[in-house]
Amino acid sequence: MKILDVFDHFGVGYKLTSRSIVCEQCPSCGKKDKVWLFKPDERKHSYRTGGQCWSCGAKYSSYTYFVECGFEPDDVREHLHIGLKGCADENGELWQIPDFGVSEEALKETVAFKEAEIPETFVRPQHWPTHPAAHYARKRGVIKPIENFIFIDPIRNAVAFPVIYQGQLAGFQRRYVDPSNPKIKTRTDPGVPRRSSLIVIGKEKDPICVVEGPFDAVSAAWIGWQGVCTMGYISTTEQAQAIAMMALEVSDTPFVYIGYDKDTEGEKGSRELGRLLDLYGVRFSRVYPKQGKDLNASITSVFQAELFPQIPQGVDKGKVVEIQHDWAWDLPLLPEFKFMEYSIGLKKSEVDPYRRKDSTITNEFTWEHVRWPDRRKKLRMYKNAKKRK
């Protein structure tokens, strides 16, 4: 790929996924591994690429990225073959890539974010084992070494899960043991940037398993995975980006298990998350619980947590989960799992395979599928109108 020769020429570090070039640093905010550029077409547009910093939102083309890194514009133009066919764009603002950028809401959350502190009243479950919240946590699988990731809030009689935002403590999500309102079992601290935050339980270098609830993340850690909870079956674009970045830290060939619930909502959420991870170049497999509808129900049905002082060695994954390695987000959908509309009466060359409402479902992304979508839609409508005449 010619664009990588330019990175090597200027001595700029990068990592690769199957669809992305991840730059070593953002010239705007200085954050590491936050600038994700869409990998250019190797055959036609080998210098043309662009993307955004997933932290500060700065937009880049390949040209503006190298220039803002401090290299001479004329030198950059020469190596990117500006002025020739298939050259790079000079304007980074042209790369308005859906799902590859950062929303205005997420940027506002970043500006307003303040790192939280652990309340003085919080304790680890093992330090007050007779408290009802500690007893409840053990029933749900919070034993050694997982109990070191979790707190109990003895005043509110709740299990408290730390919520993480870009590596910092954003606050807590509490699971009440005996809620006064049965419809409100959990509550997340105000001020937590929900669009970008996750609950993470397990070792940093373990394979990632994305789940809906925090106790499912506990169960993922039982299996030897790093449980990553999106706090519901609807994952935001920013959460998917955070998961992609975590997966790239775990391995140079990023991979994720998707362990959402075994129900209609869980399947919808899995397909949407899979679509985003596919766009970023992260591979994945689908994980289904063998017992019950979620990972925690499956673990607690096989193991009675309170009988164990710590997680048993060599938990057999086959007893707890079914892993479907050939699962894909764009497989033919069952009616109850339908969440995108199919195009009818359009030729393959006429559909935009990226847009939700007017497209067939496909994972054949190239830069042409994500660049200038609104402009392409207008051109397509114009061409169809001409054909009808």
pLDDT interval class at 330 (50, 70, 90): confident
Give the whole-angstrom CA distance, residue 108 versus residue 194.
Answer: 12
Residue 347 has pLDDT above 50, yes or no: no
Q: Could you identify the residue written with the tokens 């607690």?
A: 300
Q: Residue 287 in 3-state DSSP?
A: strand
Alpha-helix residue ranges (DSSP H) falling in 281-363: 295-302, 317-320
The CA radius of gyration of the chain, in Å to the nearest whole number, is 23
CATH topology of domain 112-324: Dna Topoisomerase Vi A Subunit; Chain: A, domain 2 (3.40.1360)
Rounded Cα distance between 232 and 211, Å, is 8
3-state secondary structure of 358: coil
Residue 376 has a pLDDT of: 46
Shortest CA distance to 128 belongs to which of 107, 157, 104, 105?
Answer: 157
Comparing CA positions, the residue from 131, 16, 136, 11 lying closest to residue 66 is 11
**CA atoms 164, 165, 169, 172: torsion sign:** negative
Hey, which residues does 164 pair with through a beta bridge?
169, 198
* Res. 339: pLDDT tops 50: no
Count Cβ atoms within 10 A of the Cβ of residue 344 and give its class: 0-12 exposed, 13-18 middle, 19 or more buried.
exposed
What's residue 117's pLDDT?
A: 96
Over residues 356-360, the mean pLDDT reads: 39
Residue ranges, CATH 3.40.1360.10, the chain: 112-324
d(CA 217, CA 50): 34
In this prediction, residue 86 carries a pLDDT of 53
Number of other CB atoms surrounding residue 43 within 10 Å: 8
Higher pLDDT, 341 or 159: 159
